[in-house]
Amino acid sequence: MPLNVIIGAQWGDEGKGRIVDAVASEADAVVRFQGGPNAGHTVYIGEEKYVFHLIPMGILNEGTLCCISLGVVVDPIILLNEIIELEQRGILVKGRLLIDPRCSLITPEHIKRDKNREHSLGQRKLGTTQRGIGPAFSDRAGRVGWRLGTLIGKIESGETLGLPESYLDACLKLKSSLADVSLIIYNMLNEGKSVIAEGGQGTMLDLGLGTYPYVTSTNTVAAAAPVSLGLSPRSVDSVIGVLKAYVTRVGEGPFPTEIEGAAADKMREEGDEYGATTGRPRRCGWFDGVIAKYAARVNGIDEWALTKLDVLDHFDPIFAAVAYEIDGERADELPLNTDTIYKAKPVYHRFPGWKTSTRMARKIEDLPFGARAYLDFIQEFTGVRLGIVSVGYERKCMIRLEN
Ligand code: IMP
Ligand code: MG
């Protein structure tokens, strides 16, 4: 039965890939349910670095079926290249990757539109990944976009389509991977199999619940999973929220706990905070309890997976926002207007740094007292328990907490 949804609780790049990789070994299938190649998941296996944009992380786990559901916008060229690269590195993809033919396509024209729009916005640009995400979802909502299955049908019947030959070729090469992902997952769940729905981006980039217009063009919250999988909302068994021990953001938009200067540079270097898709340096800041609490509520998070705790080993003191101050007044909830979020000044709780390496910790008792106090604070403040704490980029650098 279990369908576990894994989503990001901040502005993306929380380390979802790392967490999906860790739990994929126990899953029969992993499904992407929204976004597109704007996502960038990085995972290290030994010294090997893998970056994924469209293929679910579960592909590194031999027995796991990987699916792309209809909620994802697919760039066939990127997807095909990703498949080829993985196969060149000895990972079998054919037969293990299924794509719903109802996926909407990103065309070269969408990419051009995305770039032009950002350019024409100048100072007011959104800072998109320029992968054509916004225009592709706009065309989907406007009911003028291509879907993968339909386009393949038209190519095969010899219609003139006005798309580059290489693009049409890539679509045809994906044909053998097409399947009714919704039905397959439905049947697997009925057979008692375990499925992970892997989110992209993060809660604060949700089209409606995030910091609009500085958001992506899809719903990133857990509830988007059953919609895009064509499943009942009752099918979701648990939601894991992935939180970084501090916060990062790429692109423009408000970020109340953002820091600048030497501390931000140090966080960026220690945490290797550069975009996996665009290579852009990520903006860095302290943990934001207001956002974590908001994410817990709008996603119904059952447990946190906290990543990159080890990056804070190098900081003393450590700060975490517990509220905002807006025009001289205290706010405990995230403001509804993005203009007001810009004005929010964090009210910080100050923690003494632990200044010792946490990388070797494999159980909670191995952590220094200061780190445990920080974790206790996160659980108590958000009212959600911790299930996983990661303390390094290697697969083994992970603590599993008992329920
Ligand atoms: P788009 O999704 O390319 O349209 O970009 C919209 C906003 O979402 C920009 O601020 C991007 O930097 C951000 N974004 C999109 N995908 C990701 C992601 O996977 N991680 C982090 N930020 C993302
Ligand atoms: Mg990422």
Q: Which of 28, 41, 53, 206 is catalytic?
A: 41
The residues pairing with 3 across neighbouring beta strands, listed in sequence order, are: 195
Give, for ligand 1, the residue of 16, 38, 242 to mutate: max count of ligand atoms closer than 8 Å to Cβ: 38
Give the domains, in start order, of the chain with CATH numbers: 3-123+166-400 (3.90.170.10)
339 part of the active site:
no
Instruction: Assess contact for 252 and 204: CB atoms under 8 A.
Output: no
Instruction: Assess contact for 133 and 217: CB atoms under 8 A.
Output: yes
Give the 3-state secondary structure of residue 64: coil
pLDDT at 47: 83
Give, for ligand 1, the residue of 250, 274, 280 to mutate: max count of ligand atoms closer than 8 Å to Cβ: 250
- Check residue 62 and report its DSSP letter: T
Q: How far is the CA of 11 from the centre of ligand 2 (A)?
A: 9
Q: Among the atoms of ligand 1, which is closest to the Cα of residue 200?
A: 19
Q: How far is the CA of 263 from the centre of ligand 2 (A)?
A: 22
Angle, helices 369-382 vs 289-299, to 10°: value is 50
Per-residue pLDDT tens listing for the chain (403 residues): 599 999 999 999 999 988 998 888 889 999 999 999 999 888 787 788 888 899 998 898 888 999 999 999 999 999 999 999 999 999 999 899 999 999 999 999 999 999 999 999 999 999 999 999 999 999 999 999 999 999 999 999 999 999 999 999 999 999 999 999 999 999 999 999 999 999 999 999 999 999 999 999 999 999 999 999 999 999 999 999 999 999 999 999 999 999 999 999 999 999 999 998 888 999 999 999 999 999 999 999 999 999 999 999 999 999 999 999 999 999 999 999 999 999 999 999 999 999 999 999 999 999 999 999 999 999 999 999 999 999 998 889 999 998 7
Instruction: Assess contact for 211 and 334: CB atoms under 8 A.
Output: no
pLDDT at 1: 55
Instruction: Assess contact for 395 and 22: CB atoms under 8 A.
Output: yes
Instruction: Assess contact for 201 and 214: CB atoms under 8 A.
Output: no
pLDDT at 209: 98
For residue 128, which phi and psi values (nearest 5 degrees)? -70, 170
- How does DSSP assign 104-135, residue by residue? EEP-HHHHHHHHHHHHHHGGG-----SSSHHH
Tokens 């296996």 map to which residue? 45
- Check residue 75 and report its DSSP letter: -
Q: How far is the CA of 42 from the centre of ligand 2 (A)?
A: 7
pLDDT at 44: 80
13 part of the active site:
yes
pTM of the full structure: 0.97
Q: Could you say which ligand is closest to the alpha carbon of residue 32? A: 1
Angle, alpha carbons 234-103-278 (nearest 5°): 105
Q: Could you say which ligand is closest to the alpha carbon of residue 202? A: 1
3-state secondary structure string, 160-180? CCCCCHHHHHHHHHCHHHECC
Q: How far is the CA of 403 from the centre of ligand 1 (A)?
A: 33
